[in-house]
């Protein structure tokens, strides 16, 4: 009597990979915006049912917080690398704006800055989570400028925040890398006048 091998893999559910799920959800939030993404969108994209989603992530806002943590390490402008105390302040700030332009235009399906766009969402918990990351970035820029130009730190930080928000919005509106870089460099010329020397 011949033995038949059973294919145990057939019919088995795919194993749930939380890291892959967070990456998938990050792209969804980044491409559509927090408010436009529902639990149904998330569970369909991730490939799990709602009870499994809530068991794994708690809520949509909690998942978004995890995504922001991931984004800070992999997708955000690397301020700690670019704000170098050994280089002129204006040069570093221009490098930040150019890096923002490049990152915001890198994926036309997920353009702009996840954090900057997140502070505009209607969900309070998600908005506050994004605001925490934005405040940390603004704080890093403020401290960097204040170390050499304390009298200019507040207005330069406000200027940087405004320009970066504009670059993010322009990227989401379809501006390509060349246009974003041109805007970043023009803004950089203004910075050089304020913090030269």
Predicted pLDDT at 193: 86
Go through the chain and tell me how many residues it has: 197
Q: 192 pLDDT exceeds 90? A: no
C-alpha separations of 126 from 31, 62, 63, 181 in Å: 16, 8, 9, 30
Quick: pLDDT tens for 70-126.
999 888 999 999 999 999 999 999 999 999 999 999 999 999 999 999 999 999 999
What is the pLDDT, as a whole number, of residue 6?
Answer: 43
Average pLDDT rounded to a whole number, residues 32-46: 96
Q: Would the pLDDT of 196 be above 90?
A: no
Average pLDDT score over residue span 37-61: 96
CB 104 within 8 A of CB 113: yes
Between CA 112 and CA 104 the distance in angstroms is 4
pLDDT computed for residue 15 by the predictor: 67
Of 112, 82, 98, 94, which is closest to residue 156 (Cα–Cα)? 94
- Mean pLDDT of the 6-10 span: 45
Looking at residue 197, what DSSP letter applies? Answer: -
pLDDT digits (tens, 9 = 90+) for 140-176: 999 999 999 999 999 999 999 999 999 999 999 999 9
How many whole angstroms separate alpha carbon 184 and alpha carbon 98? 6
pLDDT top residue among 73 and 177: 177
Q: Tokens 């436009």 label which residue?
A: 36
What confidence score (pLDDT) does residue 14 get? 54
- Assess whether pLDDT exceeds 80 at residue 3: no
Mean pLDDT for the chain overall: 91
Please report the pLDDT score of residue 147 as a whole number.
Answer: 96
More confident residue, 196 or 71: 71
């Amino acid at each position: 009597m011949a033995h038949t091998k059973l294919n145990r893999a057939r019919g088995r559910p795919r194993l749930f990979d939380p890291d892959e799920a967070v990456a998938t959800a990050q792209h969804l939030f980044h491409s559509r915006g927090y408010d436009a993404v529902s639990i149904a969108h998330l569970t369909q994209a991730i490939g799990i049912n709602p009870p499994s989603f809530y068991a794994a992530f708690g809520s949509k806002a909690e998942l978004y917080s995890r995504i922001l943590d991931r984004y800070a390490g992999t997708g955000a402008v690397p301020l700690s690398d670019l704000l170098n105390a050994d280089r002129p302040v204006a040069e570093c700030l221009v490098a930040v704006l150019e890096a923002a332009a490049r990152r915001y235009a890198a994926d036309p399906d997920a353009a702009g800055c996840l954090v900057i766009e997140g502070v505009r969402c209607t969900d309070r918990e998600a908005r506050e989570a994004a605001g925490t990351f934005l405040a940390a970035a603004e704080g890093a820029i403020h401290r960097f400028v204040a170390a050499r130009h304390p009298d200019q730190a507040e207005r330069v930080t406000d200027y940087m925040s405004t320009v970066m928000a504009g670059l993010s919005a322009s990227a989401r509106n379809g501006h390509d890398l060349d246009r974003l870089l041109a805007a970043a460099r023009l803004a950089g010329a203004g910075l050089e006048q304020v913090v030269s020397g």
